[in-house]
């Protein structure tokens, strides 16, 4: 029954055919269960494991690598190769792909846990009336039409429509669903509000929320998926995970690279068709197979096999650094996504605020000796911990607040006129509440005021254990006074009173709405001497003025406290006793903003990131918070900046677009609105980070580009998120964004390093094929270079230091290419030199080396006809392993120098020296050590078809390799000047990763 909130109680009962005094019959229960289903959130079928595994291989680059591995293996068999050499290359490729697939499967499995966590918020049991009798049944057996009774501490077992209030009032904490900072009073009257949101449905008790005050009966109107909690589950199921900006760029890169590889491979094969019949191959078919093998080697050289592993490793390193900042990353790709975040949609309650109501201001009458003189005090401490101080109007801390009569009596009243409990949880290491948040705030105030008569009391209290300290002062007053009678809070009176006795003196303490309490006061307590004076019109006007300031300007939730001396022996209080009260003071409380939030928001503005506050709370309260945290500092008015959900939905489509571009505050929202907001922003090409801690935030957290949950939040929110803030600190997000930007910069550096290295390998093979000289490198040597000599330095580049101005730059665009036109030109130049230097090392051995044959260049170009003509040298020299060893070593060493070039995109090595990243220096050392091992250790040298090099050969290697540093320094110089920018504009069409104007969905 979706419109139960708009119908009267008799209409709802008639709809389900239930008698409120007897409940459903067994026959009705069976019938309703068949019609409406059970009260269980259905379990969604998880993706089969084999599908998850196959999904990881659904990538173009991966498919090319698999094809290359298979073809390599088949060609080895065709050539009669057996043993390790036939299986090495395909085996290594498949092992890398399997490792990356494992990481992907683990990530996707974690994402499905959010739906399971949602079940934890379902109640276990319910008190149900059936066949005229109440019984306690499993909540899963509830059906629509059941009459359920709820009371304090009860978790609502289904969506219920109120039918009878059994106490003066009923209040429910529904923060996990709506994000409201305080509990909500429920009522019986039907609602006529159009487009009602959850907050408007004050006659509905929502599944999973908790009763904090009162007792009532209600009829079940929604079970299982047809509850508010069920709608959240459905919303999460409909949300598809978005690819991160880096993932989209790498996918584009893969498509682009695949086309280039295919084109080059076909070109190499076609160029050499004339050589298919060369005698050295033994026939046309064998020649075709030989050059096809070269094309496959070219594919292996062009594909950066280690790129997925290096990207994963770099992101993993970033997660460790972020964990030290209290940002726990659940999804590796989200680390990089932070770097391009343009909008942070922040939940208010518990994220920007502490979600712990606390007293922040107190107003009392100081004296009337020289006119009406009111005193205001401010209170520090924003959590449920009994830690904080009281300050006077000049900012001076009160050493012993309990010495002031009004503050002392405020503490008494706060402790005694109170039904809540505060306790310390050693497992969670924090203080927890039971009961109404406003009453808990008063309990904490009593602890901050302290006790009278003990000069050493503040230090003595600090010596208590946390468990003892939680309510020490409250327990003191409860032991001093015996509670005799209680008048509960009611909606019409808007106040609560308790009769207490101490040493045969009876005192009634009262608290409630200021207008209600003040109207029943005839005298007031003075703070300077503890005297009681008549409450004159002037004093009343002053108090009303302070109340208006507290409630209006400061948007505080205000309570007035009062007392009354009762006749001796009085044992009961009635409504008639609540008159002729003595006013003690006025307290203003709020869900306070976190102290560090203001600076964090200013940092976001500097970094070009818009912070949007999204909350279920009312507009006035939220606007006040935005003023406090600085979100509105740069604005003269809030027109076009602050909207409620209903106001936004009523806007025409064209105005909605404009509103989204300027909105800072979005209030009175429910879960569907949050998800809608994220989708709308994403359609405007914004990269959205959504923060939250409640069940209500889960769909939006899952939909956002990066969902950020609070560490103290619900398990559902954490499971649906990409990142969890261990310290619940909004400021941690700013530090995480800076880290994300640094990680992206480093990711760009090692991607460029690997691209330029692979370009070099392609140039090497292509030039050798075009010149008609023997194979420069064999496939297994290329694989070694790609995996080991490329992989280690590329990973170490991820340790490059964060730029000092990383948070002063605007967020990068989602469609920004990883490698732009000018950079692609730069790395083409570097890659071309790497390839040409490798070929030069190969040719040098044949023509100039003292250990080589010193043959003319023309003989080298005609090596394939050696067997058919007379030569002065044996044809076996073309099978010698020395030239390929020199070429391979040149390739390795030149790439080590190129790694040093990538310490910075544009800064010279004179500015950022190699030792600024010792990890890179170490990885270069390890790489060279590994290379020397395969050169000089016998089994490895045979496996990789290499031989030891002489000193002269090493000298030549260094001469050919070092110029790559000089070339890149020249290119960096151009980049730092206007030449690079001009060339970038000219080469924009040649961006390696093509730009897209429309966001990929």
Structure-token pair, residue 751: 């991607």
Instruction: Kindly tell me if the per-residue pLDDT of 316 is higher than 80.
Output: no
Q: How confident is the model at residue 112 (pLDDT cuts 50, 70, 90)?
A: very low
Q: CA 950 from chain center: how many Å?
A: 55
Whole-number pLDDT of residue 560:
96
Coil/strand/helix, residue 645: helix
Summarize the confidence of residues 937-948 as an average pLDDT. 83
- Measure the CA–CA gap between 417 and 438, rounded to whole angstroms: 12
Q: Which residue in the list 347, 591, 697, 991 is annotated as catalytic?
A: 347
Angle between helices 284-302 and 245-271 (to 10 degrees): 160
Q: List, in sequence order, the alpha helices (H) in 276-374.
A: 284-302, 307-323, 333-337
Instruction: Report whether 562 contacts 510 (CB < 8 A).
Output: yes
pLDDT in tens, 823-838: 778 878 998 999 999 9
pLDDT, tens digit, 9 for 90 and up, residues 692-718: 777 777 788 888 888 888 776 666 777
Q: Give residue 65's pLDDT.
A: 67
Question: What pLDDT was estimated at residue 985?
Answer: 45
Is the predicted pLDDT of residue 125 greater than 70, yes or no?
yes
pLDDT band, residue 480 (cuts 50/70/90): very high
pLDDT at residue 499 is higher than 90: yes
Mind listing the pLDDT tens digit for each residue in 378-395?
999 888 899 899 999 888
pLDDT for res 543: 92
Give 399's pLDDT tier (boundaries 50, 70, 90): confident
Which pLDDT value is given to residue 997? 34
At residue 79, does pLDDT exceed 80?
A: no
**In the prediction, which pLDDT does 992 show?**
41
User: How many angstroms separate the CA atoms of 313 and 93, rounded?
Assistant: 17
Tell me: pLDDT of 318 over 80. no
pLDDT at 944: 77
| Torsion sign over Cα 474, 476, 479, 483 | negative
pLDDT at 804 exceeding the cut of 70: no
Residue 85: per-residue pLDDT: 54
Residue 803: predicted pLDDT: 65
pLDDT confidence of residue 821: 72
What pLDDT is recorded for position 840? 93
Cα–Cα distance list, 655 to 342, 580, 640, 660, 664 (Å): 21, 56, 10, 9, 15
Q: How far apart are CA 960 and CA 768, in angstroms?
A: 17
Answer whether 312's CB lies under 8 Å from 795's CB. Answer: no
Q: What whole-number distance in Å separates Cα of residue 32 and Cα of residue 221?
A: 11
Residue 159 annotated in active site: no
Rounded to whole angstroms, the Cα distance separating 28 from 318 reads 59
Task: Report which listed range, 625-629, 803-807, 966-970, is most confident.
Answer: 966-970
| Higher pLDDT among residues 536 and 284, named by residue | 536
The one-character DSSP state at 397 is B
| pLDDT score of 924 | 92
Name the average pLDDT for the chain.
81
Banded model confidence at residue 474, pLDDT cuts 50, 70, 90: very high
How confident is the model over 945-964, as a mean pLDDT?
A: 91
The sign of the dihedral angle between the CA atoms of 623, 628, 629, 632 is: positive
Token pair for 469: 């300290």
Average pLDDT score over residue span 389-402 = 91
Task: State the DSSP code for 695.
Answer: G
* Of 354 and 582, the one with more pLDDT: 582
In this predicted model, what pLDDT tens digit does every residue of 621-660 receive, in sequence order? 788 888 888 888 766 667 788 898 888 888 888 888 888 9
Q: What is the mean pLDDT of residues 75-100?
A: 63
Q: For residue range 564-621, what is the model confidence (pLDDT) as tens digits?
A: 999 988 888 999 999 999 999 999 998 888 878 888 888 888 888 898 998 887 788 7
- Which band of pLDDT confidence, cut at 50, 70 and 90, is reported for residue 994? very low
Closest C-alpha to 71, from 269, 281, 273: 269
Full-model pTM: 0.64
| CB atoms closer than 10 angstroms to residue 823 | 25
Which among 338, 347, 329, 334 has a CA at the least distance from the CA of 723? 329
Candidate from 279-288, 494-503, 925-934 with smallest mean pLDDT: 279-288
In this prediction, residue 991 has a pLDDT band, given cuts at 50, 70 and 90, of very low
User: CA-CA distance, 963 to 274, in Å (whole number)?
Assistant: 36
Whether residue 268 contacts residue 43, with contact meaning beta carbons closer than 8 Å, is answered with: no
If you average pLDDT over residues 868-893, what whole number do you get? 84
Of residues 5 and 268, more confidence is placed in 5
Does residue 243 surpass a pLDDT of 50?
yes
Task: Provide, rounded to the nearest whole percent, the portion of the chain with pLDDT above 70.
Answer: 81
Q: Which of 365-374, 393-402, 775-784 has the lowest mean pLDDT?
A: 775-784
Distance in Å from the first CA to the final CA of the chain = 36
- Provide the percentage of residues in the chain whose pLDDT is more than 90: 24
Rounded CA separation 889/784 (Å): 11
Higher pLDDT pick, 814 / 720: 720
């Amino acid at each position: 029954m979706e419109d139960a909130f708009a119908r009267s109680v008799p209409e709802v009962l008639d709809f389900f055919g239930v008698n409120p005094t007897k409940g459903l019959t067994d026959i009705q229960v069976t019938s309703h269960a068949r019609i409406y289903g059970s009260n269980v959130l259905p379990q969604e079928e998880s993706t089969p494991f084999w599908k998850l595994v196959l999904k990881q291989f659904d990538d173009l680059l991966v498919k090319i690598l698999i094809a290359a591995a298979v073809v390599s293996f088949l060609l080895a068999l065709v050539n009669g190769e057996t043993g390790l050499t036939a299986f090495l290359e395909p085996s290594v490729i498949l092992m890398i792909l399997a490792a990356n697939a494992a990481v992907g499967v683990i990530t996707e499995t974690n994402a499905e846990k959010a739906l399971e966590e949602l079940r934890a918020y379902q109640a276990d049991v319910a008190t149900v009336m059936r066949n005229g009798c109440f019984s306690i049944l499993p909540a899963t057996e509830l059906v629509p039409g059941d009459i359920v009774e709820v009371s304090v501490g009860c978790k609502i077992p289904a969506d219920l429509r109120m039918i009878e209030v059994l106490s003066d009032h009923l209040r429910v904490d529904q923060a996990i669903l709506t994000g409201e900072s305080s509990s909500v009073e429920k009522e019986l009257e039907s609602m006529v509000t159009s487009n009602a949101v959850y907050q408007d449905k004050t006659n509905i008790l929502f599944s999973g929320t908790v009763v904090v005050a009162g007792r009532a009966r209600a009829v079940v109107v929604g079970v299982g998926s047809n509850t508010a909690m069920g709608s959240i589950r459905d919303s999460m199921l409909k949300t598809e995970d978005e690819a991160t900006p880096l993932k989209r760029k790498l996918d584009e890169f893969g498509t682009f690279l695949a086309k280039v590889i295919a084109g080059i491979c076909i070109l190499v094969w076609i160029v050499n068709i004339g050589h298919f019949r060369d005698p050295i191959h033994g026939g046309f078919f064998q020649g075709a197979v030989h050059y096809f093998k070269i094309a496959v080697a070219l594919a292996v050289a062009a594909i950066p096999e280690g790129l997925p592993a290096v990207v994963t490793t770099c992101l993993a390193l970033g997660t460790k650094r972020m964990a030290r900042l209290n940002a726990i990353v659940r999804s590796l790709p989200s680390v990089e996504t932070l770097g391009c975040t343009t909008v942070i949609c922040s939940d208010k309650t518990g994220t920007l605020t502490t979600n712990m109501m606390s007293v922040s201001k107190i107003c009392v009458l100081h004296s009337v000796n020289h006119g009406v003189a009111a005193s205001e005090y401010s209170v520090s401490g924003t959590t449920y911990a009994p830690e904080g101080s009281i300050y006077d109007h000049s900012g001076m801390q009160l050493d012993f607040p309990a010495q002031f009569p009004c503050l002392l009596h405020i503490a008494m009243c706060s402790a005694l006129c109170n039904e809540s409990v505060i306790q310390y949880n050693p497992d969670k290491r924090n203080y927890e509440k039971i009961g109404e948040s406003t009453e808990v705030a008063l309990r904490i105030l009593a602890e901050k005021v302290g006790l009278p008569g003990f000069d050493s009391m503040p230090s003595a209290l600090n010596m208590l254990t946390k468990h003892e300290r939680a309510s020490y002062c409250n327990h003191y007053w409860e032991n001093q006074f015996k509670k005799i009678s209680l008048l509960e809070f009611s909606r019409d009176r808007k106040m609560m009173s308790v009769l207490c006795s101490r040493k045969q003196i009876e005192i009634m303490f009262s608290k409630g709405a200021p207008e209600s309490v003040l109207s029943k006061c005839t005298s007031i307590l003075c703070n300077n001497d503890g005297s009681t004076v008549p409450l004159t019109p002037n004093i009343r006007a002053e108090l009303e003025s302070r109340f208006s300031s507290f409630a209006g300007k400061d948007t505080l939730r205000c309570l007035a406290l009062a007392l009354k001396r009762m006749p001796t022996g009085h044992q009961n209080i009635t409504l008639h006793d609540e008159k002729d009260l003595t006013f003690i003071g006025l307290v203003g409380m709020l869900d306070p903003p976190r102290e560090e939030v203001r600076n964090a928001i200013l940092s976001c503005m500097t970094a070009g990131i818009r912070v949007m506050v999204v909350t279920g709370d009312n507009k006035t309260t939220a606007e006040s918070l935005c003023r406090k945290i600085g979100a509105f500092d740069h604005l003269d008015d809030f027109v076009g900046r602050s909207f409620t959900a209903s106001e936004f939905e009523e806007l025409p489509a064209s105005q909605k677009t404009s509103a989204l571009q300027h909105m800072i505050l979005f209030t009175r929202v429910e879960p569907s609105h949050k998800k809608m907001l994220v989708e709308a922003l994403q359609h405007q090409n914004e990269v959205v980070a959504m923060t939250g801690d409640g069940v209500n935030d889960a769909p939006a957290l899952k939909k956002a580009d990066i969902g950020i949950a609070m560490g103290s939040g619900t398990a559902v929110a954490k499971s649906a998120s990409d990142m969890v803030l261990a310290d619940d600190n909004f400021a941690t997000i700013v530090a995480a964004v800076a880290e994300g930007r640094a990680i992206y910069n480093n990711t760009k550096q090692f991607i460029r390093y690997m691209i330029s290295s692979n370009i070099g390998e392609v140039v090497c093979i292509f030039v050798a094929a075009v010149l008609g000289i023997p194979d420069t490198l064999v496939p297994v040597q290329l694989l070694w270079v790609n995996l080991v000599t490329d992989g280690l330095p590329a990973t170490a580049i991820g340790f490059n230091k964060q730029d000092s101005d990383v948070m002063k730059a605007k967020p990068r665009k989602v469609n920004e290419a990883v490698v732009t036109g000018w950079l692609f030109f730069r790395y083409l130049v570097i890659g071309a030199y790497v390839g040409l230097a490798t070929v030069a090392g190969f040719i040098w051995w044949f023509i100039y080396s003292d250990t080589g044959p010193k043959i003319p260049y023309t003989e080298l170009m005609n090596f394939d006809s050696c067997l058919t003509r007379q030569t002065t040298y044996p044809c076996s020299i073309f099978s010698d392993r020395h030239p390929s060893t020199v070429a391979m070593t040149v390739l390795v060493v030149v790439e080590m120098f190129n790694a040093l070039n990538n310490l910075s995109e544009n800064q010279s090595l004179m500015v950022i020296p190699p030792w600024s990243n010792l990890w890179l220096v170490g990885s270069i050392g390890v790489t060279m050590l590994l290379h020397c091992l395969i050169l000089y250790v016998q089994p490895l040298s045979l496996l990789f078809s290499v031989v030891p090099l002489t000193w002269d050969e090493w000298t030549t290697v260094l001469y050919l390799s070092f110029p790559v540093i000089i070339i890149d320094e020249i290119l960096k110089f151009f980049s730092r000047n206007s030449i690079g920018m001009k060339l970038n504009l000219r080469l924009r069409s040649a961006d390696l990763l093509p730009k897209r104007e429309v966001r990929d969905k």
